[in-house]
Every structure is written in C-alpha cells, then in structure tokens.
C-alpha cells in the first residue's frame, strides 16, 4: 500500500516509477508524500495523474514543484485546484504554465491571485484568456502589467474593462495599443480618461476613433492634446466637436 511509503521512499522513486502510479494511488498520497516528490518526479507526472490530485494535495506543493509543472499539466488541473492555489503558488507558475490556463481556469482566479501574477506572467496572457476577466479583475493590474499586454490583447478587452481603466493604467498603453482600440472601446472611455491621455497617445488616434468621441470629451481636451491630433485625427472631428473648441 502507498500509505506505507515514507517520504524518503517517495523521494527515492525515479520518474519511471512515478509514471507507473495509478490515478487512484496518486489521489491516495498524503500531503507530506506529495511534498516529497522530486522536481523530476513532478515533471514526469501525466496529465491524468495531475488531474487526480485534490485541492489539499495541490495546496501542499512547494513553489519549486509548482514551477516545474508544464502547460499541459497546469491545463489538467480542475478549476477547484486552481482557485485553491495560494498567492505564492500562483506567482511560481511558469510563463509556459500561464499559457496553459484555460478560460475556465482564468475565470476562477481571485483578485488576490491576479495581483500575485508578475508582469512577465501577465504579458503571456492571450486575448482569449483576457476576454473572461471583468473590470474588477483589472483593478489588480499595475500600470506595468497593462503596458506589457500586446496590442492584440488590449484590442480584445471588453468595453466595460476599457471604461474602467484608471488614468494611470490608460497612460501606460503604447501608441500601437491606442491605435488598435476599436471604436466601441474608444467610445467607452470617460472624459477623465481622455483628458489624461498623453499627446503621443492622442496623436495615435485615427479619424474613426476621434469621430466616436463625444463633444464632452473633445471640449475637455487640453490645447496640447488638440494640437497633437494627427491630420487623420482632425478629419474625425464633427462640426459639433469643432463648435465646442475654444
């Protein structure tokens, strides 16, 4: 019986022996036995074996063991296991492991877990993964995290998320990210957000983007922002917009 194995016995098992363990045996391991698995033993686990581990067993894994999990192994974890990961464990997931997270797994992450993600981990999130995060989730993103997102990832954000970004978060967007925003996303920006945009960001706005800004947004823009509009951006101004310029 696996229960008779000491932690030393477990640590002494080679990867071939570990792979040979049934899912029933894996599920029967104590937390101490799970903690005794070597890094090579963790790497050798099949996705079925990983999926067989319960939340208590997963919670007992060290950050070194968590870091050893592959994208496939991470993807195999039930959402309950993902939700139970500590902040230190989440922070230890490799960037490859982050890529392995499904949208269902991303969806169960708490704000504290999201806050624990590094900028490097955040930068690997795909458009599909980001699409399931809501405005409250994005409060956990630092300006550096936002800046690390690709233009494609930014373009995939919901209008609710874009409209909820703080002025500091919005200021961290690159000009390429600004140019990639859809007209719906631009229209979701509030007056304070538009007023906080750097001149470089304003210059990146297309005529279609400028056209969906309301007169309240245009009238709130500084003279430096108006002067920063590109020739194409100017073409997006409506007669109503021009009328409110002073």
- Which of these, 84, 29, 39, lies nearest to 62 by C-alpha position? 39
Q: How many whole angstroms separate alpha carbon 203 and alpha carbon 174? A: 12
Contacts of 215 (CB under 8 A, 6+ apart): 238, 240, 241, 243, 244
Using the 8-state DSSP alphabet, how is residue 142 labeled?
-
Cβ-contact 110, 84 below 8 angstroms: no
Q: How confident is the model at residue 5 (pLDDT cuts 50, 70, 90)?
A: confident
| Pairs from 44-49 (Cβ < 8 Å, separation ≥ 24) | 44/15, 44/16, 44/18, 44/19, 45/18, 45/19, 45/73, 46/19, 47/72, 47/73, 47/75, 47/76, 48/23, 48/76, 49/19, 49/21, 49/23
Residue 169: burial class (beta carbons within 10 Å; 0-12, 13-18, 19+)? buried
Region of 150 (left: φ > 0; alpha: ψ -120 to 50; beta: rest) is beta
Structure tokens at 18: 């570990």
> pLDDT of 161-199, one tens digit each?
999 999 999 999 999 999 999 999 999 999 999 999 999
φ, ψ at 170 (rounded to 5°) = -65, -35
Three-class SS state of 123: helix
Q: Give the predicted TM-score (pTM) of the model.
A: 0.84
Cβ-contact 55, 86 below 8 angstroms: no
Structure tokens at 136: 């409250």
> pLDDT of 54-76, one tens digit each?
999 999 999 999 999 999 999 99
> pLDDT of 10-42, one tens digit each?
889 888 888 889 999 999 999 999 999 999 999
For residue 103, the model assigns a pLDDT of 96
């Amino acid at each position: 019986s696996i229960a008779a194995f000491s932690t030393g016995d477990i640590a002494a098992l080679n990867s071939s022996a570990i792979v040979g363990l049934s899912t029933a045996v894996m599920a029967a391991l104590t937390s101490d036995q799970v903690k005794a698995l070597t890094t090579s033993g963790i790497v050798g686990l099949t996705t079925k074996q990983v999926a067989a581990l319960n939340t208590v067993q997963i919670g007992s894994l060290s950050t070194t063991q968590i870091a050893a999990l592959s994208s496939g192994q991470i993807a195999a974890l039930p959402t309950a296991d993902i939700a139970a990961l500590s902040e230190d464990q989440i922070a230890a997931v490799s960037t490859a492991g982050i890529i392995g997270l499904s949208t269902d797994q991303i969806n169960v992450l708490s704000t504290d877990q999201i806050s624990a993600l590094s900028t490097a981990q955040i930068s690997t999130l795909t458009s599909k993964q980001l699409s399931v995060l809501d405005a409250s989730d994005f409060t956990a993103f630092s300006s550096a995290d936002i800046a690390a997102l690709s233009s494609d990832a930014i373009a995939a954000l919901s209008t609710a998320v874009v409209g909820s970004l703080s002025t500091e978060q919005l200021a961290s967007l690159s000009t390429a990210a600004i140019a990639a925003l859809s007209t719906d996303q631009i229209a979701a920006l509030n007056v304070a957000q538009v007023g906080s945009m750097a001149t470089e960001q304003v210059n990146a706005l297309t005529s279609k983007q400028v056209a969906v800004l309301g007169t309240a947004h245009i009238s709130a823009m500084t003279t430096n922002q108006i002067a920063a509009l590109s020739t194409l951006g100017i073409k997006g101004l409506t007669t109503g917009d021009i009328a409110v310029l002073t």
